[in-house]
Structure 1
Amino acid sequence: MSIWWAEVVAKTLFYTYFIDASVPMNGGAHIKTIVFIGSYKFGTSKEALMSAKEMGYYVVLFTDKTSNLNFLEVDQFVIMEHLLDEQLVMEEITKLKERGKQVCACISFIDPYVSYAAKLSNHLGLSQVSVESLGLMENKIAIREKLENLSITPFFTIFHPNDSPKEFKEKHKFSFPFILKPPISNGSKDVLLVETTEKFVNALKLVQKKHPNSPLLIEEFIQGTQYLVEVLVYKSVIKFVGLVEQEVKYNGRFIVTGYKYPGLVDADEYSRLYACILSIIEQTGLSNGSCHIEMKLAQGHWKLIEINPRMSGGAMNRIIEEGTGINLVKEILKVYLGEEPILIEQRKKHVYARYLTIGSRGKLLRVTGKELALMHDGVKYVHIKPLEGRILTTPYSMGNRYACIIAVSDTAEQAEASAIVAAKEIKFYLEPF
Structure 2
Amino acid sequence: MARRALILVEGTGSNGPLYVKASRRLGLEPIILLADLSQYKSLAAESIDAIRVDTDNLDAMIRECSRLRAIHDIVGITSAEESFYATASKLCQHFELPGPNAVSIERCCDKVIQRQLLAGAGVPIPAYRVAANATDVERSAAEIGLPVIVKPAVGTGSCGVRLCRNVDELAEHTTYLLGGTHIWLSLPKQRRWQSSPRILVEQFAQGPHYYAHAIGYEVIGIGAADFGPPPYFVCRELTFPAPLTNDEHRRFADVSLSCLRALDLGWGPTCIEFRWTKLGPVVIEVNPRLSGAPDPQLVQLAYGIDLIAEHIKLVIGDEWDLRKRHSHIAAARYLNPDCDGTLHWIDGDSRAASVSGVAEVKLYVEPETQIDRKGDNRDHVARVIAASPSRAQTEAALQRATDLIGWSITPFPTADSDKQCPCFGQGKVADGLQ
The TM tier, using the shorter chain, reads 0.7 to 0.9
RMSD of aligned C-alpha atoms? 2.0
What code does the residue aligned with 1:40 have? T
Distance across 2 between alignment mates of 1:164 and 1:186 = 23
Superposed, which structure 2 residues align to 1:358-373 within 5 Å? 358-373=337-352
Out of 102, 109, 115, the residue aligned to residue 138 of structure 1 is 109
Matched, 1:175 2:145: yes
- Counterpart residue identity of residue 212, structure 2: V
Aligned amino acid, residue 306 of structure 1? E
CA distance in 1, matches of 2:145, 2:368: 44
- Superposition deviation, residue 95 in structure 1: 2.2
Mapped pair 1:221 → 2:193: no
CA distance in 2, matches of 1:87, 1:151: 37
TM-score in terms of structure 1 length: 0.86
The answer to whether the 8 Å contact 1:357/1:394 transfers is no
2:127 is the alignment partner of 1:127? no
Hey, what's the Cα distance between the residues in 2 that align with 1:74 and 1:392?
A: 33
- Superposed, 1:71-90 pairs within 5 Å as 71=43, 75-80=48-53, 82-90=54-62
CA distance in 2, matches of 1:85, 1:387: 36
Cα-to-partner distance string for 1:73-94 (whole Å, 9 max, x where unaligned): 56211134x4211122222222
Among 241, 247, 259, which residue is 1:280 paired with? 259
Counterpart Cα distance in 1 of 2:93 and 2:370: 41
Q: Deviations over 1:183-206 (max 9, x none)?
A: 111000001111112222221111
Q: CA deviation at 1:169?
A: 4.9
1:363 shift after superposition: 4.0
Structure whose residues are more often strand by fraction: 1
| CA contact 1:180–1:217 (8 Å) conserved in 2 | yes
User: What displacement does 1:311 show?
Assistant: 0.8
Shift of 1:251: 4.0
For residues 23-79 of structure 1, the C-alpha deviation after alignment (integer angstroms, 9 at most, x for no partner) is: xxxxxx3221111112236x3222111100111111111222513221355621113
Residues of 1 paired with 2:370 and 2:257: CA distance?
43
Structure 2 partner of 1:380:
359
1:295 to partner: Cα distance: 0.9
1:296, 1:302 within 8 Å by CA — same for their partners in 2? yes
Report the number of matched residues: 396
| Equivalent residue number for residue 124 of structure 2 | 152
**Cα distance, 1:317 vs. partner?**
1.2
Is contact 1:294-1:306 (8 Å) kept?
Answer: yes
Change (3 A) 1:338 1:248: same
Of 167, 173, 177, the residue aligned with 1:197 is: 167
The code of the aligned residue for 1:225 comes to P
TM-score normalised according to structure 2 size? 0.86
Q: State the partner residue of 1:117.
A: 88
1:57–1:164 distance in 2 versus 1, CA, 3 Å? closer
After superposition, the Cα gap between the structure-2 partners of 1:320 and 1:157, relative to the gap in structure 1 and judged at 3 Å, is same
Query: CA separation in 1, counterparts of 2:377 and 2:173?
Result: 19
Secondary structure at the counterpart of residue 346 of structure 1: coil
Separation in 2 of the partners of 1:329 and 1:164? 41
SS at match of 1:250: coil
1:344-372 CA-to-partner distances (Å, cap 9, x unmatched) read 11111111211111122334444311111
Change over 3 Å in CA distance of 1:169–1:265 after alignment to 2 = closer
| 1:310 pairs with one of 289, 293, 310 | 289
1:358-406 per-residue CA deviation (whole Å, 9 max, x = no partner) reads 1223344443111110122211211112344543333521122121111
Match of 2:188 in 1: none
Matches within 5 A, 1:99-110: 100-110=71-81
**What secondary structure does 1:133 align onto?**
helix
Q: Does the 8 A contact of 2:144 with 2:202 survive in 1? A: no
Q: Which residue of 2 aligns with 1:92?
A: 64
CA 1:68–1:376 in 2, change beyond 3 Å: closer, same or farther? same
In the other structure, the counterpart of 1:47 is: 18
Cα–Cα, structure 1 residues 308 and 240, in superposed 2: closer, same or farther, change >3 Å? same
Shift of 1:123: 1.2
Q: Distance in 1 between matches of 2:273 and 2:106?
A: 18
Amino acid at match of 1:333: I
The percentage of aligned residue pairs carrying the same residue is: 20
Could you list the structure 1 runs, at least 4 aligned residues long, displaced by more than 6 angstroms after superposition: none
Distance 1:164 1:44 in 2: 37
The alpha-carbon deviation at position 219 of structure 1 amounts to 0.9
Whether contact under 8 Å (2:299, 2:307) holds in the other structure is yes
2 CA distance for matches of 1:363 and 1:91? 47
Which residue is equivalent to 1:415?
394
Whole-angstrom distance in 2 between the partners of 1:167 and 1:321: 46
The range that moved more, 379-388 or 327-336, is: 379-388
